[in-house]
Amino acid sequence: MWVKRILVLVLATVIAGCNGGGTPEQGSEEYASALKSFYVGLAATEVGDDPRAVSELTRVTELAPNEPASFNNLGVLYLRQRDYEKASEFFGKANSLASDNSTTIANLAELDLAEGESEKALEHFQKAVELDPKDHFSQYAIAEETERQGKDAEALAILKDKLKKDLADNLALEVEIARLAAKTGNTESLKESVNSLRQRSENWPAEVKEQLTKLTELTNSDNSSAAAQQTAFFKNVLIREPEYRSSLAEFNASDTAPGRLIRKPLILPAPEFKPAPADTELRFEKKIVADVEAKTAFVVFKNGESPVVAYSTEDKTVIGDTEIPVSVSSPKQVAQIDFDYDYRIDLAFATDKGFRLFKQNENGTYEDVTSATGLPAEITGGSYAGAWAFDYDSEGDLDLVLAPSEGAPFVLRNEAEGRLSRTETFEGIEKAADFVFGDFDEDGDADAAFLDRSGGLHFLANARGGTFDLLTCSSPPVDSISSEAGYLNATWKGLFGALALGQGKCDVIDQPYGEEIPASNSLLRVDIDNNGDSDSLFSDSKGSQLFLKDSEEFARQVPSLKQTGVIVTSAADLDSDGGPDLVGMENGRPYVLKPKLTKNYHWQIFRPKAAKTEGDQRINSYGIGGEMELRSGLMAQKRVITSPQVHFGLGENTSADLLRVVWQNGYVQAEFDLKADQAVETEQRLKGSCPHLFAWNGEEFEHVKDAPPWSPALGLKINAQDTYGILQTEEWFKIPGEALKPKDGKYELRITGEYWEAYYIDNYRLLAVDHPEGTEVFTDERFSIPLPPLEVFTTGELNRFSKAVDHNGRDVSETVSKLDEQYLDGIKRGTYQGVAEDHWVELELPEEAPREGKLWIIGEGWMHPTDASINVQRGQAIPTPPKSLSIEIPDGNGGWKAVKENLGFPAGKMKNVLLDITDVFPADAKERRVRLRTELEVFWDRLSWAVGKEGSETRITEIDLSAAELRYRGFSVIDKRDESSPEIPDYSRIKTTVQKWRDLEGYYTRFGDIKELLLKTDDRFVLSNAGDEIAMSFPALPDPPKGWKRDFVIIGNGWIKDGDLNSVFSKTLLPLPTQATNDYSRAPTVLEDDPVYQKNREDWIKYHTRYIAPDAFRNAVRNN
């Protein structure tokens, strides 16, 4: 391999030498295109779209063939894809173009490590450090490789004498020094490090302090051997702390996304990506909206297009050419909410005269539908300070938050079809004056903040499931608040500040202006001048003041706004020209202020939108509550989606390279071909399902079906109140014989995690099932209550029905007669994903089908699932669950009657369903017809009938597991042929290896041998994450005798838990499940308190040492 590498390097050098002028002229079209593709490719790499990244970076190599950074980054992509030949080619080219760049050299070392060339890797890392002595990653890699060679003292010296010079206060480095000092018996160095750790331990959790105390005692007793082991325990507990993980990231690269990206071109001139200078010369054009006496004016969105200006008089609110007979004194008393998913935004009024809900009709007028909400008179007749739209329970639709004039705010929960019900969610807060929301602690759900009339600020951390933890901030009395992604903005006399929420407390981060600001009762944050950073607009009863933010510091006040005399209430782009217009009041008249900018900065407006409202409803119509992150080059911005229009200023950047949307249900979507004023629709893709099973079919690893665990879903809400109780953790799924063939004398299976979920795998087993030709074997792969038996069923040959007709009256006999992945559809989707109209397929048995003995319907197909949030939302609207499979027969009077009900549904993709129809027909029935009926999105590939066999000749052999390894693979490219077909991962194509989802936090099983954990069902499980792969080998058996054939059954035992915001305890791996109980209601605390941990403590020393938190996911866009 090393000889091959040299040849690649030589070839790359020759190519570079023959290339001539390979750098496009600055200002040329080629230069602009190359620079654009470079940063789009970089962004695609970091957010997880490798195919797009390869395409863009390849284009850079064509436009600017002398630019080494593009070759380097392509090499990183192929290294992560484990295509070492291509990685070698591109790293070689990068190195030939930039042989003095430490990153290109270090990446050669990363490739060496991947190929097992540790000595060559060490040489390359050492060269990288020679080129850049501050290359901390290479320096640490040298220490790691030195330690692997048994030179522990030398490795310690590298950390102490070299790395610590630059990283003197680095917590993780101090822990590594302590570990190596204990390992080498260097008690002096160990004591120094332990003392340093003690000095910074004041705010650490009790369990971390406990481990440090033990380490201190062992250190002081000069017991280096025991201290070395204790250092490992201490490190494994400390890794939970964000402080430790962030310090570790300063010198230790990711082991799941190897290779180092170069984030700026080395040859191509690149601009400095930062907000442009503030447009301090901007002025405002003042235009009256209506020459009438008004109380307030504000912006109203009627749909996803440009908004209109509304104003309230003493007796009505005027919206364009429409009037509503309700008056408000503040925009806070009007909530804009599409409560019925028709893309028309309705209005909820909450004033001192009561609550009213107005539905927007198709013609743009509004209709009072308050009486249809079902609310009692004490609510509709109450007195209120404000109303706001907010998805408080994160299940998809928007609810309403109401602030009574007296007492605590409460929620009006949207129960569909116009019904609302009161929910007490925010107790402990009195006399709320303002409300905002946003993911202030960046844990994936929308938190809330209230400002009361006394200036008290109240943070509510979202605990999911419609519950919140109240935190009262120790700030001075606050005047006004506004939401910004990642933190809350607030003003108090003389100060503008950001308040960060995290770890059960809120911290005030002062951001002083160049001058003192006055008290204000309204704070707006918007990029008025499009320079790429949010400006601040403060208003009170005397007027409004504008402070512009630029690349260096807050600019001083821009006097032109105050000079207008307008008290600004809201901002939005009213005419789609990219400039946020201001709406407000002066002397009792409504006005619009249009900014007249002197700098021609660029901008981007996005219009988030649910792709469809039928057959989905995971996202509210305009994505309210989600987040958008934009990147232009290396300049990143983030916005909370609070309206159908999301504005970004770009400054001098002509366009954006990446938009990442985290919708309010947690689904992540990246867009790259970005245009100004662009609609962004949600993708209709799954975020949770189950692991996937692949098998070696003699030529390649091919997808077989969903793997166990499928049905043992921890904390899955089945409606608005109830959580699914796990009845059984063992599942049996058939693997067809043609799908699994020996490879080098072994049966090879692969199980991958592709979605937002974690797996607790207790046991996997494999059965070989030999049976005579002319017979078939199946497992019943339904989810139903009662559960189908765990056994192998033997039948005769499969037979087609004489006729099959669907609920639309179509003859579908050919569609369901063969297994060809052409699925029976014709189903009208229902309101919610996974639930459809009542539908059926009518099957007629031929005359030759026996009338005595066991008779089966064999269904092969898949089901499009709901999820916890959909179940909660549907459960609020419809008290009964959707009807699962049932069997009906003619009732003799021209109708049909159910003879078997509640038969469940296919447990995922490519599943077999066995339905016993032995005794369903009357003895004298001339025609034997059945209807297979359901309200679920079930899609049949083949429907057959077969005679049941006793199975006495069937031979079942359990095959011993010979090897099992957990390793990181990344995420497959997932294909979905059409709306009738399931999502199928392609094992041969990797989409990305970066952290794709906001992973459940906790200790996962380290990579490597896991066979011991899979051999028995004993609560000693493999903890596997999204992106992981379990590779299992079983010794191949001799071929079955002539006249026989072989199928297989995989038996799995374990649990699955997804990150859905309405799954119970979905932020974390805890609490750990156990075979001893199906109860999953015990709230998690810390690992040390968990009964499963206490029972199998040694596994967290030997196996479960890989701590995962969603740090990389959070930082992907702003990773600059």
pLDDT at 501: 64
Interval 554-578 mean pLDDT: 87
Residue-wise pLDDT for 1081-1094, tens only, equals 999 999 999 999 99
What is the radius of gyration, based on Cα positions, of the chain? 32
- pLDDT over 80 (residue 448): yes
Interval 92-107 mean pLDDT: 96
Residue-wise pLDDT for 169-180, tens only, equals 999 999 999 999
Neighbours of 356 (CB within 10 A): 18
pLDDT at 721: 62
**Between 3.40.605.10, 3.90.1170.50, 2.60.120.260, 2.60.40.10, what CATH number should domain 776-951 receive?**
2.60.120.260
Neighbours of 1055 (CB within 10 A): 24
C-alpha atoms less than 13 angstroms from C-alpha of 266 in its C-beta half-sphere: 23
**Domain 283-596, second-level architecture:** 7 Propeller (2.130)
SS3 content of the chain, % helix, strand, coil (to 5): 20, 35, 45
Closest CA to 231 of 146, 156, 149: 156
Question: How far is Cα 365 from Cα 71, in angstroms, rounded to an integer?
Answer: 58
Interval 249-265 mean pLDDT: 93
% residues pLDDT > 90 (the chain): 74
pLDDT at 727: 86
pLDDT at 17: 37
Interval 451-463 mean pLDDT: 89
Interval 872-883 mean pLDDT: 86
Provide φ and ψ at 137, rounded to 5°.
-65, -45
Instruction: Place 9 in a pLDDT band, splitting at 50, 70 and 90.
Output: very low
DSSP per residue, 126-177: HHHHHH-TT-HHHHHHHHHHHHHTT-HHHHHHHIIIIIHHH-TT-HHHHHHH
Assign residue 347 a region: left if phi > 0, alpha if psi is -120 to 50, beta otherwise?
Answer: beta
How far, rounded to the nearest angstrom, does the alpha carbon of residue 916 sit from its chain's CA centroid? 41
Closest CA to 858 of 936, 795, 933: 795
Question: How far is Cα 919 from Cα 353, in angstroms, rounded to an integer?
Answer: 66
Q: Which residues contact 880 (CB under 8 A, 6 or more apart)?
A: none
% residues pLDDT > 70 (the chain): 93
Neighbours of 162 (CB within 10 A): 17
Question: How far is Cα 31 from Cα 267, in angstroms, rounded to an integer?
Answer: 11
Tell me the two tokens of residue 930.
């059945």
Which of 93-102, 711-720, 803-812 is predicted with the least confidence, judged by mean pLDDT? Answer: 711-720
pLDDT at 12: 42
Instruction: Place 708 in a pLDDT band, splitting at 50, 70 and 90.
Output: very high
pLDDT at 509: 58
pLDDT at 502: 61
1046 to 513, 737, 955, 1037: CA distances (angstroms) = 76, 5, 9, 10
- The average confidence (pLDDT) of the chain is 91
C-alpha atoms less than 13 angstroms from C-alpha of 1053 in its C-beta half-sphere: 19
Instruction: Place 122 in a pLDDT band, splitting at 50, 70 and 90.
Output: very high
Question: How far is Cα 834 from Cα 936, in angstroms, rounded to an integer?
Answer: 6
29-250 classified as CATH 1.25.40.10? yes
The domain limits of the chain are 29-250, 283-596, 602-683, 688-769+955-1119, 776-951
Residue-wise pLDDT for 509-563, tens only, equals 555 555 556 566 788 889 999 999 888 888 888 888 888 887 666 666 788 888 9
What's the chain's length in residues? Answer: 1120
Residue-wise pLDDT for 803-817, tens only, equals 999 999 999 999 999
602-683 classified as CATH 1.10.20? no
Residue-wise pLDDT for 175-211, tens only, equals 999 999 999 999 999 999 999 999 999 989 999 999 9
Q: Is the pTM of this model over 0.85?
A: yes
- Respond yes or no on whether the N-terminal peptide bond of residue 277 is cis (omega within 30° of 0): no
Residue-wise pLDDT for 1006-1065, tens only, equals 999 999 999 999 999 999 999 999 999 999 999 999 999 999 999 999 999 999 988 999
Assign residue 1073 a region: left if phi > 0, alpha if psi is -120 to 50, beta otherwise?
Answer: beta
Residue-wise pLDDT for 979-1003, tens only, equals 999 999 999 999 999 999 999 999 9
